[in-house]
Structure 1
Amino acid sequence: MAQKLSDATLSQIGHPVPTYDRTSLTPGILHFGVGNFHRAHQAVYLDRLMNAGGGRDFAIVGAGVMPGDQRMRDTLAGQDNLYTVVEQSADASQARVIGPMIDYIAPGNSAQVIAQLSEPSIRIASLTITEGGYFIDANTGHFDPAHPAIAADGQNPDAAGTVFGLLVAGLRARRAAGTQPFTVMCCDNIPHNGVITREAVVETARLSDPELAEWIAENVAFPNGMVDRITPATSDRERAMVLDDFGIADDAPVFCEDFIQWVLEDNFPAGRPALEDVGVEFVADVTPWEMMKIRILNGGHAVIAYPAGLMDIHFVHEAMQNDLVAAFLEKVETEEIIPAVAPVPGTDLNTYFAKVKERCANPKIADTVRRLCLDGSNRQPKFIVPTIADRLARDLPVEGLALESALWCRYCAGQSDSGAVIEPNDPNWDRLTETAKRAKDDPSAWLNMADIYGATGRDPRFASAFADWLAALWRNGTAATLRRYLGG
């Protein structure tokens, strides 16, 4: 008989559950962005550590910021902040109940978030707020303090509405109390994510309190980190599978692959859990790992996504079974992306890419092409454009990456090759669709989006290749254009 997930029913769940006493946990981490990735990654590592007898003073308090966080908060509260993680290889699925989160502050309760950040027991403030949550200006590559949301926090620092405003308020309170500042740990897929987060927090503070900004710059640690685990969105399908396959009535399960990786710079002055005991790799400089992951895996996702989306392929593993998509990925990665990735200690890049292909081909994950296509306006400037810029700087060809960019443009026009409507799939969808339609006759309209392409869009070598591929896509369709590219 299915059991409704809660502390009271843990002993009746016929799958691994927390072996630690959750009532004895004390908070040590406040986390912004309690989405599926965080719940299948950072929280899983902490659960492993707590099951091994460590880290029990580093329990997680979630913090909602966006209105949409309310639903997750309410759902998890209804099951004592427990949830099921289902790890899936191609051959097997294993369910485990995860329990390191002990509270979740609802969005809109800024005073409660700041009060929690003020507590000396909180030694880490972590965040997964998506690639688009950092207010980065693509023209400069730096934080944009003029963004209306940030400007509002600068004018009203005691009523902060952004993650960065809340972090500043928490640090202000700790400074006033003489409490050691917490470490700010970014867990998003952004190059140099600690550096990016540091700039966002410091510059937000500078708007209202320049002296505090300098104190943060001198005293707060922002370690860089590389995180990796494919974690699809949860739908009714996954909720039904947890119920039918594992007998757990869970309204917020997480399905993910069995692969997991986390590489972190060891810079935690206020202390940290001993995550190295459960597989986290601590290094002096995470740059080689993050470039490998962002360019080969995340860039590879984009290479798969847009041709598959235009050819009405639904699942990522189905895209990997398509000869044209698979060959396109192979050629772009081996000829253009991997050669633009610096060596990584102890890692063979071709072996890493082989693992990426294996992961994407895993049918159990049921990751959707639409998810990989999501939010290109924030992902392309981080995952694709830097590789193009690096190759152009070395006077190397960018034909494959120009085709990837043209495929993204064609996708944003809003119809697949079959004429099927592509539903909005980006925070900037209306703007992208209007620009993509203009680009059909004037390709420069697309590349002139300076917040995405910066100076790279004005490079005549890239612009010429992009225009050629975009015309081919409109004229001949995706399959024929891929055949032309693959034929050399």
Structure 2
Amino acid sequence: MEVSLRENSPLTSPPTERPKAGILHFGPGAFFRAFNAIYTAEAMAHSGGNWGIRAVSLRSAGIRDTLAAQHYIYTAAMLMPDGIEYTQVDVIDSILVAPENPQAVLAALCEANIRIVSLTITEKGYCFDPATNGLDHNNPDIMHDLDHPETPRTAIGFLVYGLAQRRAAGLPPFTVLSCDNLPSNGALVRRMVLELAHAVDPSLADWIGAEARFPSTMVDRITPATTARDIENLRQAIGIDDSGCVVHEPFRQWVIEDDFVKDDHPNWAAAGAQMVTSVDAFELMKLRCLNGSHSTLAYLGYLAGYKTIAAAMCDTRFADLLTRLWAREIIPTIPTPEGEDLHAYCHALQERYKNPSIHHKTSQIAMDGSQKLPQRLLGAISDNLKMGNSAPLLCLAVAGWMRYVGGTDELGQEIDVQDPMAQQLRNAVIKSTRPEEAVQALLGIEAIFDPELAQNPKFEASVTTAYISLLEHGTLKTIERELYA
């Protein structure tokens, strides 16, 4: 459960009692521990229930080893503008490491008490092909999972074979709850699961399609990577040595489609989650208003020399850029979700970005841009063009991404581009003899750019103009020319 820390509260003593695990979660990273776990702890504190969480790491044993040494209890640090509030969280009962023992994960998926399987595995973890929006059957891990059902490597493989075991045992399926920043994430994971299941056994796919549930969600909480400084601050403030601690902003929002197997889930609404019929409008609001502006700040802010979002927002040029971006190019493309005020939502975003205690690195947000660009920026550009509107600031953000993936900043220093397509993107830039060629080469990558958008003359011209300006005048001068000319 979630308990406010006291002076010198130890992490070395196991809790006297824990709820039985009702959730299996893939991806025990910082976001999950700062978001899902805290919501679930609060839900049980309010309404009870056996909704403890057993987590699964699909890669390394690092977080398991760290948290196991302290009985899976960890500290969550809420970074407020004027201080830090520490909370102890002990809702996790254990962490399985899939590469060490995949059979243990499959066994856990088949436990009757596990009714929800949730995921925070990033875009790459869903093994989908952006070009077809279907399962990537050429993915080596998917190919492995088809040939070796007893030792899956992917979350999709574990879900399919776990559901197959439940069906064989006469158990109901679990609800699959995606909590990643992907449009219609529930529908996406359902599609991937059904495609793989159909390749394994068409009747299994039919059973999953009829009986399982895949509600979509929208999640929102800024969770910067924990630093050595955060750990030292915790030690000095509370007297606790916790290398598994997580840091997060005060704000949080969780919107969940109320569609679960047997309507069985924790009382997350008591913890402030919004249970709705459809998350589509909320999801679009977040993807474009928050994630889209975050990516804009990440690429342009990094190029301008700012290492964090808060530092960039101290520059009035970036604050003005976002204000105009939201008002003119993003909000007009979004239907207003029930109970929301889009202008107020964006104003709140701006205040969140300015929080000096949140050291959210622009380089962290810039990661995996090839996977994120279509949802965060390109969809809004397409909608603007369909409405007859230009989108110069969104196009500037795309040009900023192009400048960034070229791998060299404005001072000639190398950029460590973290992206599954990093080498292909860099080659597209460095093999071009003119800026126009670099833009055309990047726009020609159909895994990122829909050909209909890439071949739109207005879009191509706007991105090219912005890209050349970034090269010739630098980021800040380009922003000034766009805003104040």
Fold agreement, TM-score > 0.5: yes
Residue type at the aligned position of 1:185: L
Residue in structure 2 matching 1:382, options 369, 375, 378: 375
Residue type at the aligned position of 2:127: F
Residue in structure 1 matching 2:467, options 439, 446, 470: 470
Partner residue of 2:19? 25
Deviation at 1:13, TM superposition (A): 4.7
Aligned pairs (5 A) from 1:198-209: 198-209=190-201
Which segments of structure 1 move beyond 4 Å, counting only runs of 4 or more? 9-17
Worse overlay, 135-144 or 366-375 = 135-144
Structure 1 residue 81 corresponds to structure 2 residue 75? no
Worse overlay, 453-462 or 193-202 = 453-462
Deviation at 1:241, TM superposition (A): 1.4
Partner residue of 2:440? 444
- TM (norm. structure 1) is 0.93
Q: Distance in 2 between matches of 1:464 and 1:141?
A: 28
- TM (norm. structure 2) is 0.94
Partner residue of 1:312? 305
Q: Deviations over 1:388-445 (max 9, x none)?
A: 1222222321211111100111011122212232123223222222223345350200
Deviation at 1:446, TM superposition (A): 0.8
**Is the Cα–Cα contact under 8 Å of residues 153 and 204 in structure 1 kept in the other structure?**
no
Partner residue of 2:170? 178
Residue type at the aligned position of 2:192: A
RMSD: 2.0
Q: Distance in 2 between matches of 1:454 and 1:377?
A: 12
**Is the Cα–Cα contact under 8 Å of residues 75 and 252 in structure 1 kept in the other structure?**
yes
Deviation at 1:72, TM superposition (A): 0.8
Q: Deviations over 1:162-208 (max 9, x none)?
A: 00000111100000011011000000011111000100111111222
Deviation at 1:53, TM superposition (A): 5.2
What SS class does the counterpart of residue 86 from structure 1 fall into?
A: strand
Partner residue of 1:102? 93
Residue in structure 2 matching 1:341, options 328, 334, 340: 334
Residue type at the aligned position of 2:91: P
- Pick closer, same or farther for the CA change 1:151–1:90 going to 2, 3 Å: same
**Is the Cα–Cα contact under 8 Å of residues 315 and 368 in structure 1 kept in the other structure?**
yes
**Is the Cα–Cα contact under 8 Å of residues 138 and 454 in structure 1 kept in the other structure?**
no
Deviation at 1:22, TM superposition (A): 5.4
Residue in structure 1 matching 2:454, options 448, 454, 457: 457
Worse overlay, 182-191 or 451-460 = 451-460
Aligned pairs (5 A) from 1:56-455: 57-66=50-59, 69-108=60-99, 109-270=101-262, 271-438=264-431, 440-442=435-437, 443-455=439-451
- Pick closer, same or farther for the CA change 1:71–1:369 going to 2, 3 Å: same
**Is the Cα–Cα contact under 8 Å of residues 266 and 283 in structure 1 kept in the other structure?**
yes
Count of residue correspondences = 476
Worse overlay, 432-441 or 245-254 = 432-441
**Is the Cα–Cα contact under 8 Å of residues 436 and 464 in structure 2 kept in the other structure?**
no
**Is the Cα–Cα contact under 8 Å of residues 73 and 89 in structure 2 kept in the other structure?**
yes
Aligned pairs (5 A) from 1:5-44: 13-14=7-8, 23-44=17-38
What SS class does the counterpart of residue 61 from structure 2 fall into?
A: helix
Question: What 5-or-longer segments of structure 2 have no aligned partner?
Answer: none
Q: Distance in 1 between matches of 2:388 and 2:10?
A: 54
Deviation at 1:277, TM superposition (A): 1.2
Deviation at 1:458, TM superposition (A): 2.1
Q: Deviations over 1:244-275 (max 9, x none)?
A: 22221101110100011101011112411111
- Pick closer, same or farther for the CA change 1:233–1:401 going to 2, 3 Å: same
Q: Distance in 2 between matches of 1:400 and 1:259?
A: 27
Residue type at the aligned position of 2:444: N
Q: Distance in 2 between matches of 1:183 and 1:474?
A: 49
Q: Distance in 2 between matches of 1:281 and 1:417?
A: 44
- Pick closer, same or farther for the CA change 1:211–1:418 going to 2, 3 Å: same
**Is the Cα–Cα contact under 8 Å of residues 116 and 265 in structure 2 kept in the other structure?**
yes
Q: Distance in 2 between matches of 1:11 and 1:132?
A: 36
Q: Distance in 2 between matches of 1:284 and 1:421?
A: 47
Deviation at 1:24, TM superposition (A): 3.8
Deviation at 1:21, TM superposition (A): 5.7
Partner residue of 1:3? none
Q: Distance in 2 between matches of 1:136 and 1:331?
A: 34
**Is the Cα–Cα contact under 8 Å of residues 5 and 87 in structure 2 kept in the other structure?**
no
Q: Distance in 1 between matches of 2:427 and 2:61?
A: 32
**Is the Cα–Cα contact under 8 Å of residues 105 and 113 in structure 1 kept in the other structure?**
yes
Partner residue of 1:4? none
Deviation at 1:365, TM superposition (A): 1.2
Residue type at the aligned position of 1:48: E
Deviation at 1:14, TM superposition (A): 4.9
Q: Deviations over 1:189-236 (max 9, x none)?
A: 111110001001111112221211121111110001111000001121
Deviation at 1:10, TM superposition (A): 10
**Is the Cα–Cα contact under 8 Å of residues 49 and 278 in structure 1 kept in the other structure?**
yes
**Is the Cα–Cα contact under 8 Å of residues 125 and 154 in structure 2 kept in the other structure?**
no
Residue type at the aligned position of 1:191: P
Q: Deviations over 1:311-348 (max 9, x none)?
A: 11112111001122222222222111111111111111
What SS class does the counterpart of residue 451 from structure 1 fall into?
A: coil
Residue type at the aligned position of 2:26: F
What SS class does the counterpart of residue 95 from structure 2 fall into?
A: strand
